Amino acid sequence: MPAKQLIFLGPPGSGKGTQAGRLAERFGMVQLSSGDALRRERRESSEIGRKAAQYMDAGTLVPDEVITGVMLAAIDKLPAGTGFILDGFPRTAPQAEALETGLRQRGLELDAVIDFKLDDGEIVRRIVERRVCQGCQATYNVSFLPPKVDGKCDKCGGELIQRPDDREEVVVTRLETYRAQTAPLIEYYSRQGLLSTVDSSAGADAVQAEVTRLIKSAGRN
């Protein structure tokens, strides 16, 4: 299968990150998340990383042009011909437009944008029930992925906690922000004929099978 350039969209808790990791490994692609890319550029003290750090340290949003520069820098680091999945980026229509321009300058184009759909009530339930190991950061869910021993990590025995941003009132606010930001983004990619949707309420294996089908049929064959 030729290398693919993909975007996975979806609200927090929709499973897009899990699927990006699974499918990147299966198809020999690279999962590029905006959070990881920001931290790497900052750690390496690159020019774009230093710019991003100024906003991160001040607790303000990183501007569109800076986060786009960070993601394009991550793409530039990939070996030639490597496919990638952008996870958590772009978040707004201006970021999407800047990404398109940057990819075109590199002789690249998107093959597909996959939007993971899930009812808000189910998203809130999933995130509120999430528990994270303080030691190794392994993730569990008290309903469908519980640890063998309550409150203890299976891998390292560390204490499992609920992160502050996984509280219900915070999750509801995050979802409202996500919906407001991404509505224009969904329309943008729909107009370009790149958008497909996946019902992520199905089991992880069923979702993976559907996304695999979409990836194989996307873009250049």
Q: Which positions are catalytic?
A: 16, 91, 130, 163, 174
Q: Which residue has the tokens 């190991």?
A: 133
Please give the single-letter amino acid code of residue 174.
Answer: R
Residue closest to 121 by CA, chosen among 165, 171, 161, 164? 171
**CA dihedral (219, 34, 134, 171) positive or negative:** negative
Comparing CA positions, the residue from 110, 36, 18, 26 lying closest to residue 77 is: 36
Residue 124 CB contacts under 8 Å (≥ 6 apart), including other chains: 13, 168, 171, 172, 175
Identify whether 146 is preceded by a cis peptide bond (ω within 30 of 0): no
Fill in the DSSP letter of residue 18.
Answer: H
Cα(136)–Cα(155) distance, rounded to whole angstroms? Answer: 8
The Cα–Cα gap between 182 and 214 comes to: 21
